[in-house]
Chain A
Amino acid sequence: MRDENQLHAAVVELVALDNATIKYSTIQNWYPGDEEGRGGIYNFVTKRGKCLGKDSKISWTQVETGSAITWKYPGCILQGDNSIGEFYSVAVTNQRQQADTGTKMIHIGKNTRSTIVSKGISAGRGQNTYRGLVKILKGAEHARNYSQCDSMLIGDQCGAHTFPYIDVRNSTAIMEHEASTSKIGEDQIFYCKQRGLSAEDAVGMIVNGFCREVFKELPMEFAVEAQRLLGISLEGSVG
Chain B
Amino acid sequence: MGERGRKHAMLEIKNLHASVEGREILRGVDLTVRAGEVHAIMGPNGSGKSTLAQVLGGHPAYTVAEGSVLFEGKDLLAMKPEDRAREGVFVAFQYPVAIRGITNAYFLRSAVNAIRKHRGEEELGPVEFMDRLEDKLRVIGWDSSYLSRPVNEGFSGGEKKRNEILQMAVLEPKLAILDETDSGLDIDALKTVAHTVDKLRRPDNATVLVTHYYRILTHIAPDFVHVLSDGRIVKSGGKDLALELEEKGYDWIREGAAVA
Contact = CB atoms under 8 A, between A and B. Distances in A.
Interface string B53-65: 0000111110000
A206 interface: yes
B99 A196 contact: no
Nearest to A187: B97
Given A201-B110, A201-B114, A196 B171 contact: yes
Interface stretch (B42-50, B100-108, B137-145, B252-260): B100-108
Interface stretch (A11-19, A30-38, A126-134, A207-215): A207-215
A212 B151 CA distance: 13
Contacts, number: 74
A177 to B, nearest CB: 20
A174 interface: no
- Name the residue among B60, B82, B97, B111 with the largest chain A CB count within 10 angstroms: B82
B82 A197 contact: yes
B202 interface: no
A195 to B, nearest CB: 4
Interface in B122-161: 150
Contacts of B96: 191
Contacts of B90: 194
Given A194-B58, A195-B171, A205 B81 contact: no
Interface in B68-109: 80-82, 84-86, 90-91, 93, 96-97, 99-102, 107
Contacts of A198: 82, 114
Q: How large, as a class, is the contact surface on chain A?
A: 20 to 34
Given A190-B59, A195-B111, A205 B91 contact: no
Contact of B85 (A187, A195, A199): A195
A155 to B, nearest CB: 15
A193 interface: yes
Q: Chain A's interface: helix, strand, loop or mixed, by majority?
A: helix
B7 interface: no
A194 B101 contact: no
A196 B101 contact: no
Interface in A100-132: none
Contacts of A197: 82, 110-111, 114
A205 B110 contact: yes
A211 B60 CA distance: 27
Contacts of A196: 82, 85-86, 111, 114-115, 118, 171
Nearest to B95: A187
Nearest to B87: A196
A195 B163 CA distance: 13
B207 interface: no
B82 A209 contact: no
Contacts of A185: 97
B167 interface: yes
Nearest to B113: A196
A210 B100 contact: yes
- Name the residue among A190, A194, A211, A213 with the largest chain B CB count within 10 angstroms: A194
26 contacts: A185-B97, A187-B97, A188-B99, A191-B96, A191-B97, A193-B80, A193-B85, A194-B82, A194-B84, A194-B85, A194-B90, A194-B91, A195-B85, A195-B111, A195-B114, A195-B171, A196-B86, A196-B171, A197-B82, A198-B82, A198-B114, A208-B102, A209-B99, A209-B100, A209-B150, A210-B100
Given A193-B85, A195-B111, 12 more contacts: A186-B60, A186-B61, A187-B97, A188-B99, A193-B58, A194-B84, A195-B85, A205-B110, A208-B102, A209-B102, A210-B100, A210-B101
Interface of A: 185-188, 190-199, 201, 205-206, 208-213
Q: Give me the 3 closest cross-chain CB pairs, A-B, nearest first.
A: A209-B101, A212-B101, A196-B114
